[in-house]
Structure formats: C-alpha cells, structure tokens
Amino acid sequence: MAEDLVLDTAIRDWVLIPLSVVMVLIGVLRYFVSKLMRSSPTPDAKMVKEGQIVIRARNLKAGANFIPPKSFRSRRFYFSNEENGLLHVPKDQAAQNPQAQMFSDPNMAMDMMKKNLSMIIPQTLTFAWVNFFFSGFVAAKIPFPLTQRFRSMLQNGIDLSTVDVSYVSSRSWYFLNLFGLRGLFSLILGDENAIDDTQRMMQMGGFGFDASKSLSAEKDGLDILQHEWVLPGFEHRAESVLRKLVQ
C-alpha cells in the first residue's frame, strides 16, 4: 500500500524529541562517570620501551636517506639482527597470544570489564525503556523507500504487514540515535571524547597495543629498505641556491 499515513504531531513531541534528549543526556552522564572511574594506567617499562623502539625505528625508516650508508647499516643491524636486535621477536614470544596475556593481567581485565559494563548497561536499560514505553505504534517515516526485508528490523512493534516499510517504529529511531549522536557528542564534549557506542564496540573487538606484531612489522619494513644517500644531490642544489644568491 502506498498511501501516505498522517502521523500525529504528538508523536514527534512526545516520542522522537524526548528519546533523543534522553540519549544525549545518558551519553553525557556516561562520559562523566567514565572520567571518574578511569584509573590512570601504570605504564609498564617494557611497553614504554617497545613503544619508543617503534618510534625510533620509524624515524630510521623515514630519514634513512639522510645519513651515510655505513651508519644506516649499523643501525639496521642493531635493530634487526638475529640474536639481540631490538625489533627481533623470538618465535616463542610471538606465538604467545596477546589476548591471553591481557586476561591474565588482572588490572587490564578489570579495566576492560569496566569499559564494557559502562557501555552495555545504559544501552540495555535504554533499549528496554524504549520497548516498554514506545512500542506498538508508528513513530516516523523514513524519507526513502525500503525493501520488505527491513520490515522485521524496523517495524518491530507494528503487527500490520500492509503498512509501508518506510513507516518505522520508535525502536529504529533509537538505533538511529545510537549510531548518529557521535557528531553531537564531539560538539558538546570536545573532540577527543566523542566516542560513541559504535566506536566503543569496535574497540571491544580489537585489542590495544599488540607489541610483537608492530615490532615485526617495523623489522620487515627496515629489512626491505634500500638505502640511497641523498646528500650528494644536496651539493648541486646548494650550488644553484648560491648561484641565485650571488647573482
């Protein structure tokens, strides 16, 4: 059926706007709570050193052509030689699953749990609230047409199969807000803190600093690097600069 349903403006006043406001407020609240609960991470000396090694190896890669070939080669050897090169990760260490490491370390496990909880609980509560109060009616109309497949996703409380799929329930408005409020949070909370739920979910999946992989990546990068000393070219350039200056 392609008729246009006329939706009561009361729906807009009492459903859409309050829902958005509530979600924004919950996001702000969560930000402050996470700030309070954040325990300052005590950096491990090993991790700091590895981080710095990676930076130095990257500098070496970037500026390799500015130093004489001998120096470059001796530095590369220092980093990637087989016995005690800094970037060389022995096979057994590399195989050790960083995830297992993370779980065995109680501090990190606690931090992760806190982060997960602070995300899951508000989401669950809000979702339940939306379902309880705002189900069973059409909340909004999506401006573009959709296929029938979306019906189960977007029209959850509405049990009429003849209603056009563009008319969605408030649950879908909830999801829209969930994914879309990141821009608003970055305005309110300052750019760095605008992590909304989608990013947090992504962070949950991928773990933090995986030392051994980045080290071996840097090592590979260094190994394949061909050193080409650019300094001789500078003499010609200096000549032309001086020529222009002296003219």
Partner 1 sequence: MVTKTEETQLKQLENQVDNGGGGAWEYLCLVRKLKIRRSEKVLKHGSSILNDPGKRSALGPDEWTLNEQVAIAAMDCQCLDVAQNCIKALQKKFPESKRVGKLEALLLEAKGLWGEAEEAYSSLLEDNPLDQAIHKRRVAITKALGKPSLAIELLSKYLELFMADHDAWRELAEIYLSLQMYKQAAFCYEELILSQPTVPLYHLAYADVLYTIGGLENVISARKYYAATIDLTGGKNTRALLGICLCASAIAQLSKGRNKEDRDATAAAPELHSLAAAAIEKEYKQKAPAKLQLISSALRSLKL
Q: Which residues bind partner 1 (CB under 8 A)?
A: 43, 45, 48-49, 52-53, 55-56, 59-60, 62-64, 66-68, 71, 231-232, 234-239, 241-246
Distance of closest approach, residue 47 Cβ to partner 1, in angstroms: 10
Distance of closest approach, residue 49 Cβ to partner 1, in angstroms: 5
Residue 143's Cβ-count burial label (10 Å; 0-12, 13-18, 19+) is: exposed
CB atoms under 10 Å from CB of 120, counted, come to: 13
Closer to partner 1 by CB, 213 or 237: give it: 237
Residue 72 CA to residue 153 CA, distance in Å, equals 59
Can you count the helices (H) and strands (E) in the chain?
A: 13, 2
Closer to partner 1 by CB, 78 or 129: give it: 78
Distance of closest approach, residue 229 Cβ to partner 1, in angstroms: 8
Closer to partner 1 by CB, 48 or 121: give it: 48
Locus of tokens 């390799």: 64
Locus of tokens 């605008």: 194
Closer to partner 1 by CB, 10 or 246: give it: 246
Distance of closest approach, residue 242 Cβ to partner 1, in angstroms: 4
Distance of closest approach, residue 193 Cβ to partner 1, in angstroms: 19
Closer to partner 1 by CB, 12 or 73: give it: 73
* Cα separations in angstroms, 219 against 23, 26, 51, 128, 181: 46, 45, 14, 50, 41
Residue 85 CA to residue 72 CA, distance in Å, equals 14
